[in-house]
Amino acid sequence: MSAASKRTPTAAHVDPDPSKGWFRRLLPVIRARRATFIVVLVTGLSGLALQVSVPMVLRRAVDVAVDQRAGGLEGNVLLLVVMAAASFGLRFAYRYLLFGTACRIETDLRSQIYDHLTRLSFSFYDRVAGGEVISRANSDIRSIQLLLAFGPLAGLSAISFLMAFGFMLSIHVPLALVTVSTMPFVYVLGQRLRDQVFPLSWVTQGRMAEVAMVVDENINGTRVVKSFAAESDQIALLSMVADRLRWSATALVEARARFNPLIEALPRLGMALVLLYGGHLVIDGEIGVGSLLAFSAYVTMISVPFRMFGFVLLQAQRAAASALRIYEILDEKPAIVDRPGARPLSAPRGRVEFRNVTFRYPGDA
């Protein structure tokens, strides 16, 4: 008889090929939700198109009001109200669907890990502490879920940057180039942040698992600890692993504190350059007041990808480290497997018989 009992299968499984990258192994789970992701993409792009078009409508309304100084605003105001309402509905829809899908993928991963843990032999639990398993099945999967929720948002923000940059080029090319002049520096800082964050994220995730392991073992083994009067030793052990976690977590925060403020401040420097150069262009009559107002709105709009860049980059490094830790469990092979052609266990009678069964410890003759 097969040792596997009836289980509710998950929607998809992680690719079992360990030679592939962590995200490629995750793709089958994501593809299982591709219909929802397509709806998210359509609604997200539609909402972005409306959002990016708003400064152009505002530009036309202001230029008409300044030049004609009479009427012509009612139609533009009504159009802006309709665009704002439609943009709100579309953005709400794609955020709601995106976050819900990310949570469902998180559920799929937890179900697959649980299903796999029930198949592993007792020798696995002799080698791996319970706290380690709990940490990987909770905080590590949550790191992947956060990336799947905010990663597409960052991608849509990058598309909005390209769309806004195209509109800015159509208004005034030199001013558009001044607006994005800080972008190369953001890229360099982002690369340096990534190089420091990834190893620290891996170490921090491991040390969080150490703390969870010590706490779990002491809670479940309280009677054993008290029986051997080992309270002080266990408190000292918890203090040691907590200090180790504090060091790595502090180093991670320091790395973010060094780079994230610069990454977020550079777009604001671009805003100052736009106001300086654009103001002279308005005074000289090369562009209108509405065009400068549109540029100011676009600078605020393209700063969103820069603000999200640091967070998503950090979350991507954490998700990569977490995925590798999860795959270590999923790649574990059971010591005892069903023989080929074993029949599934169905409608058991509740009676078990042992025939020709022996017992020995590993390594014994």
The CA-to-CA distance between both ends of the chain, in Å, stands at 28
Q: Give me the half-sphere count of Cα atoms (radius 13 Å) on the Cβ side of residue 120.
A: 20
Judge whether 344 lies within some domain: no
Judge whether 210 lies within some domain: yes
- Average confidence (pLDDT) over 256-269: 80
- Determine how many CB atoms are found less than 10 A away from the CB of residue 50: 20
Segment 79-132, tens digit of pLDDT: 888 988 998 899 899 889 999 999 999 999 999 999 999 888 888 888 887 777
Per-residue pLDDT band at 317 (split at 50, 70, 90): confident
Judge whether 13 lies within some domain: no
Would you state the pLDDT for residue 243? 92
- Average confidence (pLDDT) over 337-364: 81
- What is the distance between the alpha carbons of residues 237 and 232, in angstroms, rounded to a whole number? 9
pTM of the predicted protein model: 0.68
Judge whether 12 lies within some domain: no
Write down the H helix ranges in 7-72: 22-31, 34-68
Segment 177-224, tens digit of pLDDT: 888 887 778 777 777 777 777 788 778 877 887 888 888 888 888 888
Cβ-count burial 327-348 (b if 16+ within 10 Å, e if not): bebbebeeeeeeeeeeeeeeee
Mean pLDDT lowest for which of 43-47, 69-73, 89-93, 348-352?
69-73
Whether the per-residue pLDDT at 357 is higher than 70: the answer is: yes
Whether the per-residue pLDDT at 3 is higher than 50: the answer is: no
Q: 80 to each of 56, 72, 74, 190, how far by Cα in Å?
A: 10, 13, 10, 36
Would you state the pLDDT for residue 322? 86
Would you state the pLDDT for residue 236? 92
Segment 12-40, tens digit of pLDDT: 788 888 888 888 999 899 888 888 888 98
- 53 is written with which tokens? 């078009």
- Cβ atoms of 298 and 54 closer than 8 Å: no
Identify the residue whose tokens are 């794609």.
94
- Cβ atoms of 323 and 22 closer than 8 Å: yes
Tell me which H or E stretch contains 240: helix 231-283
Judge whether 155 lies within some domain: yes
Judge whether 187 lies within some domain: yes
Segment 234-243, tens digit of pLDDT: 899 989 999 9
- Cβ atoms of 26 and 14 closer than 8 Å: yes
Domain CATH for 75: 1.20.1560.10
Judge whether 359 lies within some domain: no
Mean pLDDT lowest for which of 8-22, 61-75, 328-342?
61-75
- What is the distance between the alpha carbons of residues 121 and 322, in angstroms, rounded to a whole number? 23
The structural domain count of the chain equals: 1
Judge whether 52 lies within some domain: yes
Domain residue limits at 163: 22-330
Angle between helices 141-171 and 73-117 (to 10 degrees): 160
* Count of all residues that appear for the chain in the document: 365
